[in-house]
Amino acid sequence: MKNFLNLILLASALAWFGAANADEAAIKKALAGFMPDAPIDSIKPSELPGVSEVKIGANLFYISNDGKFFIQGQVFDVGAKKNITETKMSGVRKAELDKMGAEKMIVFKPENSKYSVSVFTDIDCGYCRKLHSEIEQYMAQGITVRYLFYPRAGKGSESYKKAIAVWCAEDRNKALTAAKKGETPDSKPCNHPIDSHMALGEDFGMNGTPMIVTEKGTLLPGYVPAAKLASILSKEQ
């Protein structure tokens, strides 16, 4: 009788183990039908029982281990009062910006750099212009500003064309400052990363400019004054 009960417990444990662990083949098959053009970067166990975490580009999604249910949203640890998804997304954003590389950005760097931020900007956006008009204040706070372009009017717009012209200028920093003041950049066409900037902004959930991303990958939507930004960054160290 005792052996029989042990067999029942073992069978139950194995059944639970199978349900709790991901069927990666089923997940990939489900995603291929649900999101056919989405390249899957990774499938990992999530903090939710019976649910896996899927990374696609700069986004995180959740799917049941049998591939039947897909979840788009954020997961919170109620007890710890912690946004698990956002914490992980910060790391994803940092990795994606590192992959992009500073050589594909326009960088304003002070002599004594303490912090670094990446800023998605639109040449014709009012608050983007305000931020850049204070670039010396940011650098005085020891903040390196790495610009990526996100013309809100979209590809082919005047803002998009200005971004390309700035990138293709002989002195990009000087051309960007001039463009932010309303001057029309003058340069020859060249290979540029503007489309890559825009795609990354979309992946980051861009809904306005400027959008600041800290070294840790934290999003700060909108204009943030230099002193306040320095205070925020000092707390991330």
Strands (E), 27-100: 42-45, 51-56, 59-64, 70-71, 76-77, 82-83
Task: Give the rounded percent of residues in the chain with a pLDDT score beyond 90.
Answer: 68
CA distances from 117 to 131, 155, 170 (A): 13, 25, 24
pLDDT of 59 reads 87
**pLDDT band (50, 70, 90) for residue 23:** confident
Mean pLDDT comparison of 42-46, 72-76, 184-188, 197-201, highest-scoring range: 197-201
C-beta separation of 145 from 135 below 8 A: yes
Instruction: Give the active site residues.
Output: 122, 125, 128, 152
The Cα 132–Cα 230 span in angstroms is 16
Task: Fold for 100-236, please state it.
Answer: Glutaredoxin (3.40.30)
Q: Where are the domains of the chain?
A: 19-96, 100-236
The Cα 67–Cα 30 span in angstroms is 6
Look at residue 225 and tell me whether its pLDDT is greater than 90.
yes
Q: Using one digit for the tens of pLDDT, what is the confidence trace for 139-181? A: 999 999 999 999 999 999 999 999 999 999 999 999 999 999 9
Mean pLDDT of all residues in 2-10: 36
Residues near 177 by beta carbon (within 8 Å), at least 6 away in sequence: 132, 135
**pLDDT band (50, 70, 90) for residue 24:** confident
Mean pLDDT of the chain: 88
pLDDT of 20 reads 52
Question: Taking the CB of residue 74, how many other CB atoms lie within 10 A of it?
Answer: 13
Question: Which DSSP symbol is given to 100?
Answer: H
Residue 59 sits at the vertex; the CA angle it makes with 116 and 109, to the nearest 5 degrees, is 10
pLDDT of 3 reads 40
pTM: 0.81
The Cα 164–Cα 175 span in angstroms is 11
Mean pLDDT of all residues in 83-105: 94
Q: What's the helix, strand, coil split of the chain in %, to 5?
A: 45, 20, 35
Mean pLDDT of all residues in 111-126: 97
Look at residue 36 and tell me whether its pLDDT is greater than 80.
yes
Residue position matching structure tokens 């899957």: 40
Mean pLDDT of all residues in 189-198: 96
Residues near 84 by beta carbon (within 8 Å), at least 6 away in sequence: 47, 74, 75, 76, 77
pLDDT of 91 reads 92
Secondary-structure class of domain 19-96 per CATH:
alpha beta
